[in-house]
Structure 1
Amino acid sequence: MRPAARLSAAIELLAEIGARGEAADQVVDRYFRARRYAGKQDRAAIAALVWYAVRRRGALIHLTGGGDTPRILAMAAAVLTGAADAETVAAWATGEGHAPAPLSDAERAALAALSDPRPAPPWVAGDYAEELHPLLLRRFGTRLAAAVAAMAGRAPLDLRVNTAKIDRAGAMAELAALGLSVEPCALAPAGVRVAGRERLGRLAPFAEGRIEVQDEGSQLVALACDARPGMAVADFCAGAGGKTLALAADMAGQGRLLALDVEERRLSRMMPRLARAGIEGFVTRAVITDDLLDREAGAFDRVLVDAPCSLSGTWRRNPAARWNVTLERVRELAGLQGRILDAAARLVKPGGRLVYATCSLFLEEDEDVVEAFLGRHGDFTVLDHETLPPGISGGRLGIALDPAAHGTDGFFVAALGRNPG
């Protein structure tokens, strides 16, 4: 492909990412699967432009004087990544063959503005919406610049070893023999970090259920539950079952594990994963209803609430998502999270544990939700997180993980104990 065609492809991809509202990596993967003719170097060059534009969208809009179209973003990315200078980019845009259409006057002005950069406020430098600045400043304070810088990079590929089938040392040896570069995760005892962006689907350790893809922070959330063999455990917002699998491994297939969600469709997505792990007969699935909450009230030693949230802690994995969050949406989610916690608390037996988790960076979805819950439920108190590895310290209401401090996605977790009675 000629450089002009690569630029056209980047523009097309950015338009699809903006229109579909789904994770950018899924759009990119699907785009290239449908275009097998694009060579390895072509895909790399196109992806470089796309990911730079996605990750640095706020800065590009600022530097170009407000240009936020896929064309301006892709062309500015080409200039700022060193793929070409502004004059060359303009020369590529002839409209002939697979080249982009000629530049408008506004697009020429946007490219010209790149040569005279203006000072950027923190939200531009950090590539997030201005209205989120007070929320992030409240969370990180003087650490804000370092935290958002860590979120600008690509997330690592983390695996959780299914300890019901193999130990971590054995899994690492198997992966290394397959040519992967691996190291143990620093915090999660069953975690393995893989260098690069490996495709695992056809590898025997994945296909046979000895490993699962799961961020180290997510593994720590499951660890905070302290699920043990013989317990009754409920995963209240189970979704596709990532934490359900981790809880099952901790329970060694003994006891009762109930995966819950509001839709059967969501629960059905976990079935292939349960089958690979060999635990499809151990996990029971059910849709949350008032009848179920009444029937199961006080029946569980552990209840995990991995609540729906803004997903701000996953911005490294889906950088386009940082532009989909608003203050209004955060407030809506906080109300929903409180209602979910209230419902889940009904299942916890006296002396049991309710674990609340989000992949949000915002106190409004995290500590504030926990504090409000404790105000409504005097029979619950915050527990020490003694089941988590050394080196993880928490605040009064829970533990916040982030890429800069812990090398994980952004997570919050609070363990709440129900008084014995």
Structure 2
Amino acid sequence: MRLHRNLCFAVVDGLMLIFNEGIYADKVVQQLLKRDKRWGSRDRGFVAETTYEIVRWKRLYAEIAEVKEPYDRDNIWRMFAVWATLKGIKLPDWSYFENTPTRKIKGRFDELSKIRKFKESIPDWMDEIGAKELGEELWTKEIAALNQQAEVVLRTNTLKITKDKLQADLFDNDIETEFLKGYPAALKLKERANVFTTESFKNGHFEVQDASSQLVAAYLEVEPGMRVVDTCAGAGGKTLHLASLMENKGQIIALDIYANKLHELKRRAKRDGAHNIEPRHIDSSKVIKKLYDKADRVLIDAPCSGLGVLRRNPDAKWKLQPEFLDKIRATQQEIIQKYSRMVKSGGQMVYATCSVLPSENRQQVDIFLTSEFGKDFTFVRDENVYAHKTGYDGFYMALLKRK
């Protein structure tokens, strides 16, 4: 591979914003890709993938390059040189790469690869908590899997199209996909491609949704005609899945504390032809209280550390702080206590997170079940979805039934 100056400059500029300004990597990459209209898909792919790669391995590369935060431009170029050397890319004769100690870089890499926190490029506290909660062996496998690049998985919108027809339409657009056993609506891209420019996307024939995330709505066991509440709906990935599982029949009340996310959900629902969704902004406790004892099914896709989705959000490793975990656990318990009251007698509830930590998952369910209101519920089953076993995001789901 030959390095092109303008593409490398874009990556370095992007990394300065991500590492020093704290701007989210996906937002930075979106901006970078608009930088030069002459760039082809390969150029844009290089900028996006290289940026994410260096963000993912920041700690390892910084250690090898012997640089410390805050990083100046020279520091970032040194980290870039480490990335290129480890990829086996010949460094051009540019001033930024003068005196790059290629042999020393490879030696340091071999040395640091024996220490998990450097090998997997994670903060000390994250390594400690992962090992403590999951055990050394399971954590070692899981964090290695969470450092792989995420696959692109689509969820067929069965309100508008069949999976076979969608696969054929995408094939006509030179996008090859494959079915995934155990994921009824999923299609996985064989090679990365920009699916958002396709007619299929514009017509609402699919959503981009990780395979593990596609398990959550199905876990709730919804049926057409039910009244379902998605309590932390956000922009509606799982809400839209519920709508297709319910064949547009019944009612889905999509709640969120962020009105802008619900606006995005409305837009997506219109494109997908999902007519049974009613977004409601939680602007006071009245919104929740009005729904007490009214829902056949309640989904609590709770806010969490996001440790299960590091593959697609590698910069979260550097933004997340240990204090946040204590706060989010308290929030999770508050949410499950409050929102579970919407489940009517004989109804069901799913508590889910995109975390792999037991303290955010089964332990929260157990605390709830021993609480005053939780005693009205019985535990049906739960599932830990691990990235190292499935190849997709880490998730947790628990199904509870109100007596």
What's the TM-score, normalizing by structure 1? 0.85
CA RMSD between the two structures? 2.4
Distance 1:366 1:110, change over 3 A: farther
Distance in 2 of aligned mates of 1:401 and 1:22: 30
* Amino acid in structure 1 at the alignment position of 2:94: W
Distance 1:233 1:49, change over 3 A: closer
Q: Which residue of 2 aligns with 1:353?
A: 348
Distance 1:109 1:20, change over 3 A: same
1:413 corresponds to 2:403: no
Distance in 1 of aligned mates of 2:158 and 2:223: 13
Q: Which residue of 2 aligns with 1:192?
A: 187
Shift of residue 172, structure 1, vs aligned partner: 1.8
After TM superposition, list the pairs within 5 Å mapping 1:232-311 onto structure 2.
232-279=227-274, 281-288=275-282, 289-311=284-306
Q: Which residue of 2 aligns with 1:71?
A: 77
* Amino acid in structure 1 at the alignment position of 2:90: A
Shift of residue 415, structure 1, vs aligned partner: 0.9
Q: Which residue of 2 aligns with 1:209?
A: 204
Structure 2 gaps, min length 5: none
* Amino acid in structure 1 at the alignment position of 2:19: G
1:157 corresponds to 2:163: no
Distance in 2 of aligned mates of 1:383 and 1:64: 51
Aligned 8 A contact 2:200 2:206 in 1: yes
Distance 1:51 1:260, change over 3 A: closer
* Amino acid in structure 2 at the alignment position of 1:114: I
Distance 1:65 1:296, change over 3 A: same
Q: Which residue of 1 aligns with 2:166?
A: 171
Distance in 1 of aligned mates of 2:40 and 2:159: 41
1:114 corresponds to 2:105: yes
* Amino acid in structure 2 at the alignment position of 1:74: F
In the alignment of these two chains, the number of paired residues is 390
After TM superposition, list the pairs within 5 Å mapping 1:4-403 onto structure 2.
4-38=5-39, 42-47=43-48, 49-68=50-69, 69=71, 70-84=76-90, 92-93=94-95, 100=96, 114=105, 116-117=107-108, 118-119=111-112, 120-137=114-131, 138-139=133-134, 141-279=136-274, 281-288=275-282, 289-376=284-371, 377-384=374-381, 398-403=382-387
What's the TM-score, normalizing by structure 2? 0.89
* Amino acid in structure 2 at the alignment position of 1:228: E
DSSP 3-state at the match of 1:259: strand
Stretch of structure 1 that moved more, 133-142 or 375-384 = 133-142
Distance in 2 of aligned mates of 1:293 and 1:44: 44
* Amino acid in structure 2 at the alignment position of 1:258: I
Deviation sequence 1:111-160 (CA, Å, 0-9, x none): 78525413442111112111012332222641333322222221111111
Aligned 8 A contact 1:330 1:364 in 2: no
Shift of residue 9, structure 1, vs aligned partner: 3.0
DSSP 3-state at the match of 2:303: coil
DSSP 3-state at the match of 1:217: coil
Structure 1 gaps, min length 5: 94-99, 385-397
Deviation sequence 1:68-121 (CA, Å, 0-9, x none): 532332232222222235xx6xx522xxxxxx5x97xxxx79878525413442
DSSP 3-state at the match of 2:335: helix
